[in-house]
Amino acid sequence: MGEWRFGLVNDLRFGERKLPRMVDQCAALALPANTPPPENWPLPELRVPSAEVAGWRERLGLADTGRPIIALAPGAVGPSKRWPGASYTDLARRLINQRNEVWALGGPAEAPLVRIIQHGAPEVRDLTNADLRNAILGLAAADAAISNDSGLLHVAAAIGTPVVGIFGPTSPWHWAPLNPIAATVQQTVEILSCQPCHEPTCRMRHHRCMRNISAEQVMAVIERTLADANAG
């Protein structure tokens, strides 16, 4: 009922909008009518064969240098969910200075964002591509990933790559993947009455929910993530 697509739908459902999380609302539509949702949904799982990852790296000339690989996913639907390009640049420089390889993933729409990052951190490898499989293989090859609240955050979590999610206008409780992720990062500088707004663009025009998140803050989280992965 919530989508108002009466001409296309022949099995009308009521009440799913009252469920707490977006995953509950969507997954409820896959159940028989009037079936209560389970306490825990099955976790998404995306298996990427290591042979496919190795072949992809060989085709792109991504030799194994022995250094940790950090994948950045700077894109998102709507500008309000995107951490600023300058912040990603600052983070990329910090990662590279600590002898990490940095790959930037996404589709053609993310290519301009990656160019902004490369302007201040030219060592970042631009792996944006129109084929989603390219991003999936990149996330599978990475030791850790950093992503806005986007589809690639869910892909990384389903693969099992340790991923840090950056959240601003959206709530991690409402939108984060079902799969456990390494960490979520939100601004803690000030209390914002407009957060979360779940809007694609910032109605207040200040975008402080994302601008208040520093590269230093995210860097501290990714360092802990890599340490935990190595310890495991």
- What contacts 146, CB < 8 A, 6 or more positions away? 70, 71, 72, 73, 91, 163, 164, 166, 218, 222
Parallel, antiparallel or unpaired: strands 125-126 and 144-148? unpaired
| Residue 126, helix vs strand vs coil | strand
pLDDT tens per residue, range 55-114? 999 999 999 999 999 999 999 999 999 999 999 999 999 999 999 999 999 999 999 999
pLDDT band at 3 (very low <50, low <70, confident <90, very high): low
Q: Which residue carries 């990329």 as its tokens? A: 92
Q: What percent of the chain has pLDDT over 70?
A: 99
pTM here?
Answer: 0.92
Checking if the pLDDT of 168 tops 90, the result is: yes
Please state the separation of Cα 149 from the chain's center in Å: 5
Q: Which domains does the chain have, with CATH numbers?
A: 63-231 (3.40.50.2000)
What is the amino acid identity at position 14? F
